[in-house]
Chains A and B, each alone.
Chain A
Amino acid sequence: MYAQLVETGAKRLKTLEEMSPEEREFQEKVDAETKIEPKNWMPEGYRKTLVRQISQHAHSEVVGMLPEGNWVTRAPTLKRKLQLMAKIQDEAGHGLYLYSAMETLGADRDEEIEKLHQGKAKYSSIFNYPTLNWADMGAVGWLVDGAAIVNQVVLQRTSYGPYSRAMVRICKEESFHQRQGYQILLDMMREGTEEQKAMVQDAINRLWWPALMMFGPHDDESPNSQQSMAWKIKRKSNDELRQMFIDQTIPQLEFLGCTAPDPDLKWNEETGHYDFGEINWQEFYDVLKGNGPCNRERINTRKKAIDEGAWVREAAVAYAKKQKQRAQAA
């Protein structure tokens, strides 16, 4: 996942009558569930919204490697180390795959990454929280990948073909990560020492609310949501997705023998869903604006990697050019 608050440029939705013939044809195609492909005509707003959403998603995969990189050098066993390394490698792969999908819309990967480094592009707020103990590697897999999957399973039906296809592939790997994450926690809760169990609960306490924030603000506070839904870039509302996530996660939480840091959390017989407390939206917007615990570190690390790697990339280009010249001369 990992796209929150994607700007659509829309203040309100256009009616079919207000649309140009091209727009109308496009909207009818979307309504008929025909996938939009790179060469099809599309409204500029649709293209821009998708570029924003897919690039946010790609940035999130890449920035999301950092909180895990924080523990990959300290993973406790060979098995856990290998699993975490494979997960990180998958995420780099997802990033590449998503940037490619984004480039089918005429956007440039380097330009979008530059926007990220300048603080102009977003990535999921969750990765601005620190990973403070080993159980975070389990909780990130279970809750963060779990929240991402809820969103992405729906995005498999998103209207833009290349994005939809990327989601199908990414979902498979994310599900695997989620099960692995849960297993880390389950093993510690079942066979671990008291200290290990305390680590698990501590990780859940810290990551619970940020995971719920991953779904973005309430729908009634988001005109962008409505436009994205009309274009079928988004298929379900933020609140619907958040509720789905909570409903499926609480039984897993209980099975672990852990609790959520929410006194208002309880099963509602009438609605058939869990009720839960209000998210601290001030914190959400603070983190989104750059005032989370790790915003600065995450961006600095990424920027430093790309800046300090400039000479490496330049060398690769220069070498390729020389090789080409040699081949032509031969």
Chain B
Amino acid sequence: MTQAEALKEYLLRLADSDMILGQRLCELCGKAPALEEEMALMNVALDLVGQARNWYEYAAELIDDGRDADKLAFRRDAHNYRNLLLTEQPNEDYAVTMGRQFFFDVWHYFTLKSLTGSSDERIAAIAAKALKEATYHLRRSSEWVKRLGDGTEESHQRMQDAIDILWRFTGELITPDDTDRVLAEAGIGPDPDQLATDWRGMVNEVLTQATLTPGAEDAWMYMGGKHGEHTEHLGFILAEMQFLQRAYPDATTW
């Protein structure tokens, strides 16, 4: 794999993960447990889709086949999507929503933090802006994991269940493949070992404070999103998200 190929692949992973998680949060519009949460969820979603747009725009320039950011987001099928499996998991209850957000935010925060020092200036610039948002996202989701974990008996049970349900999707966040390694060696992407150490460290710290038990480090992990092999959920997410672009392919403006 060349560095140029790896870079395009990596940008789509960043963009798609932001986009799909943002889409999942959009589904919660009007359904949050409190009005303050309504605002916060949409705020986080807005940040994520905004970041996705930045990554898509850069990816479109490098891919350079006439597709723009919108075509990348709204005209690719599931097997071409590169998002982490974690991000496409359903909202379920608020414990799952927040658990998914927390696992993602820890990964996102350390990834972006590392990318601010990327040898690719464009990536460094996008990451610097995104990091401010991700820092807030992480603070918020950590707080919720603690509140729910160390709240009532019911919330503790629900939060622990959420950790158990989602744990098998976390391996993908910190297991590097060729793309990750090529970019790390080029100083473009994060060092995979450092990322894994940081992710585990913070997850353990927050879960301990939340009186929750993390999954086993050697647990079986469900992976494949980074290569386009997804869970059954993604097809339905895209069917909804891409509906207008698919139903009206001749429309050039919206």
Contacts and interface: CB of A to CB of B under 8 A. Distances in A.
A264 B178 CA distance: 69
Nearest to B239: A74
Contacts of A314: 151-152, 154-155
Interface string A75-90: 1111111100110110
A89 B31 contact: no
A73 B25 CA distance: 9
A177 to B, nearest CB: 14
Contacts, number: 144
Given A82-B53, A311-B152, A74 B240 contact: yes
B148 interface: yes
Interface in A307-330: 308-316, 318-320, 322
A111 interface: no
What does DSSP make chain A's interface, helix, strand, loop or mixed? helix
B53 A78 contact: yes
Contact of B52 (A78, A80, A99, A192): A78
Interface in B111-128: none
Contact of A187 (B31, B36, B253): B253
Nearest to B54: A78
Nearest to A187: B253
B66 interface: no
A315 B147 contact: yes
Given A74-B241, A89-B42, A311 B155 contact: yes
Interface in A39-63: 62
B42 A305 contact: no
B158 interface: yes
Contacts of A76: 74, 244-245, 251, 254
A313 B34 contact: yes
A72 interface: yes
B56 interface: yes
B73 A302 contact: no
Contacts of B31: 69, 301, 304-305
Contacts of B34: 306, 309, 312-313
Contact of A88 (B29, B155, B252): B29
B46 interface: yes
Contacts of B248: 193, 195-196
A82 B250 contact: no
Contacts of A79: 70
Contact of B38 (A65, A72, A73, A187): A65
Contacts of B46: 82, 85-86, 89
Query: Of residues A62, A72, A76, A93, which shows the largest number of chain B Cβ atoms within 10 Å of its Cβ?
Result: A76
Contacts of B155: 311-312, 314-315, 318
Contacts of B158: 311
A304 B31 CA distance: 8
B243 interface: yes
Nearest to A321: B151
Nearest to B43: A89
B150 interface: yes
B39 A188 contact: no
A53 B1 CA distance: 64
A96 interface: yes
B100 to A, nearest CB: 15
A134 interface: yes
A73 B250 CA distance: 21
A166 interface: no
10 contacts: A62-B35, A66-B29, A68-B29, A74-B241, A78-B56, A81-B49, A196-B248, A305-B32, A315-B152, A315-B155
